[in-house]
Amino acid sequence: MGEAHGTERNTGGRPLPSYYGDRAGPAGRGAGQQPGEASGAPPALRVRGLRKRFGEQEAVAGIDLELPAGHFAGLVGPNGAGKTTTLSMVTGLLRPDEGLVEIVGRDVWSDPVGVKSRIGVLPEGLRLFERLSGRELLTFTGRLRGLPVRDVDLRATQLLDVLDLSAAQHKLVVDYSTGMRKKIGLAAALLHNPEVLFLDEPFEGVDPVSAQVIRGVLERYTATGGTVVFSSHVMELVESLCDWVAVMAAGRIVAHGPLAEVRGEAGTLQDAFLSLVGADRRSAGDLDWLGGGPK
């Protein structure tokens, strides 16, 4: 394995952002350019006609998406809308019935190795190697990614520090709390400095302090040219973090684009979302037996 300290392509990543120390800044971005919108650069994500059926259930019903690089993108939708199924297909974890997925110009299904070296994934459920310590998990992940030991050690130390996991680095992952698991999973997803990061519900079950830490790391990552795509139900969070949003309902993309466009005339993303998915017309129904008072 070659000496790769300070380089990036052989590890499949982009130049490291400044919080990694003395590394180069944003990838391919000139003065005045929007993040990742370098001329001629392929989109971070391109999806055409993506479809997945589970028996009678059409989980993803033929979706098209195009996300320019360098954006902080939120994928939102009600329970069962198809977000996890979409993210699983986009990241090469679940084979689509139909459709095309390209990440930074590479086809996920015909070039899986090329794509997987350029993406980081925090999947739903987050199965981790429970009997490793947090640091061992990062070392193992980094070596699997082909990073030199020295880089793995340095990056693991920095990520553990930034994510406030240094004190727990020698604890087994099985003994980590939900928030700690999300953070170590995020560290593992970031270790090889991917170009695009896909996160399924990264803030679910995470306390406000850890959420703030995760948020800070992701903001730094996008500020230096990285692209984040994450799913969430929390509209305030999406509205405060994202500059680009896709709204899914019943397996379809019902709106996508810059946050301001998707929000439109609605006061908040929450209002726009409820209207887009038809939830503003739903009420609590006939639950007149529910509540306190005389029985």
Interface with ligand ATP by CB under 6 A: which range of 13-21, 52-60, 134-142, 147-155? 52-60
Cβ 23 to ligand ATP shortest distance, Å: 35
Which residues does 253 contact at the CB level (< 8 Å), separation at least 6?
Answer: 63, 64, 65, 246, 247
Residues 62-91 that bind ligand ATP (CB under 6 A): 77, 79-85
Q: Which residue, 12 or 92, is less far from ligand ATP as judged by CB?
A: 92
Cβ 78 to ligand ATP shortest distance, Å: 7
The sign of the torsion formed by the CA atoms of 152, 153, 154, 158 equals positive
CB atoms within 10 A of CB 265: 7
Query: What letter would DSSP give residue 17?
Result: P
Q: Which position among 57, 212, 240, 268 is part of the footprint of ligand ATP (CB under 6 A)?
A: 57
Cβ 52 to ligand ATP shortest distance, Å: 8
* Residues that contact ligand ATP, how many (by CB under 6 A): 11
* Residue 287 burial (10 A CB sphere; 0-12, 13-18, 19+): exposed
Q: Please measure the distance between the N-terminal and C-terminal CA atoms of the chain and give it in whole angstroms.
A: 74
Cβ 84 to ligand ATP shortest distance, Å: 3
Q: What does the alpha-carbon distance between residue 138 and residue 63 come to, in Å, rounded to a whole number? A: 35
Q: Which residues pair with 51 in a beta bridge?
A: 61, 98
Q: Which residues pair with 172 in a beta bridge?
A: 133
Q: Which residue, 218 or 253, is less far from ligand ATP as judged by CB?
A: 253
Cβ 201 to ligand ATP shortest distance, Å: 7
Interface with ligand ATP by CB under 6 A: which range of 54-62, 65-73, 134-142, 177-185? 54-62
Cβ 96 to ligand ATP shortest distance, Å: 13
Residues 114-153 that bind ligand ATP (CB under 6 A): none
Q: What share of the chain is helix, strand, coil (3-state, %, to 5)?
A: 35, 20, 45
Residues 210-229 that bind ligand ATP (CB under 6 A): none
Would you tell me which residues interact with ligand ATP (CB under 6 A)? Answer: 54, 57, 59, 77, 79-85
